[in-house]
Amino acid sequence: MTRSDKKNIVILASGSGSNAQRLMEYFEHHAHIRVAALFSNNPKAYALKRAETFHVPALLFSRDEFYHSDKVVQQIQEFKPDLIVLAGFLWLVPLNLLQAFPNRIINIHPALLPQYGGKGMHGLHVHTAVVQAGDQESGITIHHVNEEYDKGAFILQERCPVLPTDTPEDLAARILKLEHKHLPRIVEKLVMEQS
């Protein structure tokens, strides 16, 4: 496979972008897959800087462009994505984007859905709720994306313990490790399985 034959991943990220970085590392020298671009809704997202470091095109969009035009869909289409990965992306995905890439958008969520999902349930909010509930385990869910927050079909769940002494930050760190371990291989599997 030459570079132009490679399968393309497009990442959407709103924040730090450590999962995005893991993907960019994992696929940097991959024979068949590359991270073609990273899109963000947040000009302050550290994910944009991480993309620059990996020489991955980083594109910013506004709420208006995302929800009231086809501009973002068209921009993403230019990168011919085989898979779109929401890696810490916090906005609901609009219908035009879902329809342009049916079954090709996945999300990673830092809890065992269907618990601790939905609007506002992201990052430390999730871990705070889990710790406050006194749960003894948490985990990650990688799932397809549909028109509702965190409601698409599951692809993978992995579990980890919640210790009685855990702060939300402790749990966040344990969950991130789990995400970094599993997200790249699941993305690789999904992309390679596509015809």
Within residues 63-122, the interface with ligand GAR by CB under 6 A covers 87-88, 108-110, 122
Query: CA-based Rg of the chain, rounded to a whole angstrom?
Result: 16
CB 172 within 8 A of CB 88: no
In the set 30, 32, 68, 109, the catalytic residue is 109
Give CA separation, 26 vs 59, 75, 111, 134, in Å. Answer: 21, 24, 23, 35
Q: How far is the CB of 41 from ligand GAR (least distance, A)?
A: 13
CA max distance for the chain: 51
**Among residues 1 and 173, whose Cβ is nearest to ligand GAR?**
173
- Considering only residues 116-145, where is the footprint of ligand GAR by CB under 6 A? 122-123, 126
Closest approach of ligand GAR to the CB of residue 40, in Å: 10
In the complex with ligand GAR, which residue's Cβ is closer, 89 or 101? 89
Phi-psi region of 151 (alpha: psi -120 to 50; beta: other; left: phi over 0): alpha
Q: Which one of 19, 40, 41, 138 is in contact with ligand GAR (CB under 6 A)?
A: 19
At 159, list the tokens: 């579990």
109 assigned to active site: yes
Query: CB–CB of 18/176 below 8 Å?
Result: yes
Q: Which residues bind ligand GAR (CB under 6 A)?
A: 13, 15-20, 87-88, 108-110, 122-123, 126, 175-176, 179
Active-site positions?
Answer: 109
